[in-house]
Every structure is written in C-alpha cells, then in structure tokens.
Amino acid sequence: MARGETVVRVDLADESVRSEPVPDAWRRKFVGGKGLGARYLYEELDAGTDPLGDENLLCFLTGPLTGYLPGEQRYVVVTKSPLTGAFLDSYAGGSMAGRLAGSLGNHAGILVSGRADRPVALSVADGEVSIESAEEWWGLDARETDEQVPGPAVACIGPAGENGVSYATIASDGGDHHAGRGGAGAVMGAKRLKALVAHDDPPEFDEDLRELRETYEAAFATDDTGRWHAASETVETLDFANEVGVLPTHGWQEGTFEGADGIGIEAVRDAAHDRERADDPVPGGFQVESDDGESVPRGSTPISLGAGLGIDDFDAVATLGSICDRLALDVISGGNAVAWAIRASETGLIERDLSFGDEDDARRLIEEIATRSSPLGDTLADGTDAAAAEYGGDDLIPSVKGMALPSYDPRGASAMALAYATSDRGACHRRARPVEVEALEGTDWSHADRVEAVIAEQDRRAVLWSLIADDFFGEALSATLGADWLAAIGREYEPEELRRTGARIWTLIRLFNVREGFTREDDALPQRLTEPLEGGPNEGAVITPESFERTLECYYERRGWDEQGRPTRETIERHGLENLELDPATHDVSDDD
C-alpha cells in the first residue's frame, strides 16, 4: 500500500484506534495536508459544531512529500478554530514533521475526535498509534513537557492550551516551533490531549528523490528567496516592513518604529549563537539567549512583541517571545492582545495603568492571558474582538473574522487588505503576501491587479500546503507546483491540474466557512484601516471603504462567487465539487449566476 492511502482514527472518548482507507477520489482531488484535512472537516462536521466540543475533529496530517523536500519539513494541524469559528490550518516545522511522516508509515495522518477522561498522549511508531497516560505532564510548559516526555519528537500544549486560550499553539522542539494561529492548542487541550510523540526516523529517499533534492537545492541556493533566507530568515521582515512604512507600531497607530534597529536583523545577528545544523543548504533558525533560556526569534516576534508594543530592547523582546513559546501562546495574537489593552488603558476603557515600551506590563499580562488568572487576562484569552465586545474599543486593533492582523499594515500596500479580508482562516499574511511586490514597485495597482496577485498566491499556496512544502523552499516549486516530485513517488499530475487543485481547495474551504455562517460582512475592511497612518513614507495613508468594496467585488467576480461571497453552482461544478452536500440555509443551491 502506498503512502497516504490510509488515515488513523482515534476516538479519545472510548480510546479506540483504527485504520481506514482515504477515498481514492479525495486523494486525487485534494492531494494531502491542507486539502485532505479540509475535505474531512467538510464531510464530518455539522454546521455550528463547538470548536472545543467533543465532536470537533483535530487532524494531524503530513503531505505526500513530507520528509522528502529540501527546506524545513512541516506538518499541518487542521480543525475548526475556537478563535474564529472558521476553518483552521496551522503548520509547524522542526523535528516533528519528518519523524511523524516516518512514524505513520502508510498513513497520511491522525484524525482525533472525542474527549479523554484524563490527560493523555498519542504515541506513534511503526505505523501504529497508541494512547498513553499524560497525567504527570499536565500543567507543564512546552519546554518542560519536551524534556520529560520520552521520545525524539514531541508536539504538545502548554498552559495556554490547557486553559483554553483561543489562540493557544501546539509547540514542538521545546517551543522552538509552533502550529500557531487560530487556537489548535485550545482544541487539543479541550480533548485532554497533552502531547503527540513520534518515535521513528524520517522517510528514506530513493535515488530519484535524491537527484531531485540535489537539483532543487542548487537552484534554491542561487534563487533570490534562497539567498535572502540564508542571510536573514524571517527576522528581516521587520527591517523590510519598517523601510517601506508598513510596520504595525504602537498598536497599529504608526507605520515605522524608531527603535527598529535595536530589534531587527543586525540585533539578532549580534545576539545569535552558532547552532548545529543538519547537512542541508537551507538554514535553520537564529537561536539567541533570553532570560528564560534559548529561543528562536522569528520575524513575528520583534514585530508583534517589539514594534507593536513599542519595546526597542532586543533582550526584552527575546524574553517575551520565549515566554510565549513556553506557554505555547501565539505571539501575533498575544502581542495584539497586549497592544489592545495598552490602547484601552490610554483611552480610559479599562481601569489599569499600562503603557507602550514597558516589558514588565507586557510580561504580566501575557502570563495572565495564558492562565486566565485575571478578569482582563480571561477576556483577552478569547481575542481582541472579545475584549472589544466586553469593554468597547473595536477600532483599536484591526481584525478579520476575529483574528487580529499580523505583520504588515495594508495602508501602505492595499492589496494586503484584500489578502487579509479573504483569507480562509482569518487575518493571515501567509495566504498571500502581495505587499512584497506592491510596496517595492511603488506603482498604482488597479483593482484587477490586486485581485490577480492575491488569487494567484492563495491558489498556489493551497496546493503547496497540501504537499506540504516549506514556505520559502516552496518558491522554488512555483513552475511545476511539485508535479515532478509527485511523479517521483508514483503520483502523476500536470502542473495545470495542480493549479486547478489549489483553486478547488480554496473553494471547498470557502464553502465550509459559508456553511458556518460567514458572509460578505466577515470579509470587511477593519475600521482601524480607514484611519490615517502616522509616520514614515506612508504617513496619512488610508484605505477607503469605497475603494475596498470595489476590489472585493472584483475578487468575488473573479472567483465565481455571488455578491455575498458564496461560490455559485457553476463554480462548484467547475471545480468538481458538485457531490458536496450544500446547506440550503446558508447557500442558495439553485444560484447559477
């Protein structure tokens, strides 16, 4: 049996484990990873399923190329988000992905349902999954769990997941890597699942795959993305965003940060320690010393916990990042939650003295959020939208579908506003990053230009995350979308078929979200972005609602969706999704326009 033809079902309620085949049509149409997870979620969840309830499905999935591709190996967690109520796919790198692929054998992944009556862990080895007690590890943070759970690769939750924080992560490698945004860690905690342990080595290469790796490694090393990644990784995104005036600073009030030099790439290089790496031309991460030990400051850390909070001391930012890593709390949502509280304090919405630039304020509030140990922390644990509903201040921090915006302020590159608004999991800069072209070109893009740029990236990433490819190495697969790699493992696709597959997956997830009640109103422009940006080359920039609505209309038309953002019957059939059961309460199944 070929790899990926089966999945493992785990019901934690009755502690049953069984293997079952993946429908052949699903493997063909959705490939693996993101796509396959979306198909299972659509098939098995009823509309309105409680994300923290027993019926929600938690899928740990690999792709057909996990363990084979160069770059950082990744796995994906697919579930319904407790933060947004929408579809969620979160990816993590590090040692877990390759070992999980090797440990699963022929299985594509593990589908977890139910809730255990005590803390448990899943142990994966030799193609089999077993349920083991994890009571002794409940209450430990991510690093402590990684140190105490036996096994070479551990993915776990920390206090944030155990306490149901709606943006809790699933951490691996002691907190160096996370399946981050959207709260998969809270779903894991609700199921009383503390950890997933993979015991076996990554899959071995055959000669065809080895030759492909060598070819692509050489090409990536000389590619613009490869050179940039080797030199600075994602930490240089802060320097880029600051230079072009899209760095969200002081709670999304300004587009540049005077203290950027103190927390950017040069500061990281100065603080970094040499790190032992595998024999791979695609690098790992900068590792620096913080007050809590070693940490890896990804680009989101200095952006959200540095510029976003007005903190210009690198050691302080690294320490805050390390705290989030140990608590297994998403740094982007966590940073935005603290920024919301500071702005709410400044405007008198809450009776607590908080200020930008104060590391101690930020640290205390992050810990209160992860433990839900104060009224403010408890409310912020459910996101900035929940805090605004409780206290007011819905114009303080921009969000889409309940997820606070991440790395780039779209007032300096308005195509990003469309990318955020139409992202399938809420505000996300990884579904499409047109800012990298629009901001540098300095041209006045038309509505059609923005739409084409966003759709092309959304579809491309949908299929690459079904393979599953590293974000950066994935750039090297743009021409073939991995068709040559799939052929090397006996799965024949033409590149054009894979492009259609990406659009099919995006459409399927839109149908899932429509069934959950999402409409055009949920693709709205956040109010904060209609207010002038302060400082930097884009000072005074705003996105007008009228302009945004015209772009959104153009996007819907190009996608083949109706005016409410629902895929039409014609579009559903064009993507080969006509056999899906559509809910007439949320979708006009007779609409052919």
pLDDT tens sequence across 292-338: 666 666 778 999 999 999 999 999 998 999 999 999 999 999 999 99
SS3 577: coil
- For the segment 563-589, the average pLDDT, to the nearest whole number, is 86
Whether 295 and 322 have beta carbons less than 8 Å apart is answered as yes
**389 and 416 co-located in one domain:** no
Q: Which two tokens stand for residue 24?
A: 């052949």
Cis upstream peptide for 468 (omega within 30°): yes
SS3 52: coil
β-pairing verdict for 287-290 and 293-295: antiparallel
The domain containing residue 377 runs over which residues?
237-399
Instruction: Find the CATH number of the domain harbouring 80.
Output: 3.60.9.10
Residue 434, φ and ψ in degrees, nearest 5: -65, -15
In a domain, 217, yes or no: no
Rounded to the nearest 10°, the torsion over CA 63, 68, 70, 75 is: 30
- For the segment 57-86, the average pLDDT, to the nearest whole number, is 95
- For the segment 447-476, the average pLDDT, to the nearest whole number, is 90
Which pTM does this prediction carry? 0.93
pLDDT for 444 = 75
Half-sphere exposure in the Cβ direction for 390 (13 Å, CA): 17
**554 and 480 co-located in one domain:** yes
In a domain, 225, yes or no: no
For the cut 80, the answer to whether the pLDDT of residue 457 exceeds it is yes
Whether 142 and 174 have beta carbons less than 8 Å apart is answered as yes
Map tokens 């997941």 to a residue: 161
Q: Please report, rounded to a whole number, the percentage of residues in the chain having pLDDT higher than 90.
A: 72
The letter for the amino acid at 72 is E
**137 and 22 co-located in one domain:** yes
**345 and 453 co-located in one domain:** no
Map tokens 């927390």 to a residue: 263
Per-residue pLDDT reduced to its tens digit, 196-246: 999 999 999 888 899 998 888 887 777 666 555 555 566 678 888 898 899
Q: Which residues of 293-321 are buried (b: 16+ CB within 10 A; e: fewer)?
A: ebbbbbbbbbbbbbbbbbbbebbbbbbbb
Number of domains making up the chain: 3
Instruction: Out of 1-10, 295-304, 355-364, 461-470, pick the least confident.
Output: 295-304
The letter for the amino acid at 13 is A
Whether 369 and 119 have beta carbons less than 8 Å apart is answered as no
**392 and 418 co-located in one domain:** no
**380 and 414 co-located in one domain:** no
In a domain, 321, yes or no: yes
In a domain, 405, yes or no: no
Rounded to whole angstroms, the Cα distance separating 122 from 134 reads: 9
Rounded to whole angstroms, the Cα distance separating 261 from 420 reads: 27
**161 and 293 co-located in one domain:** no
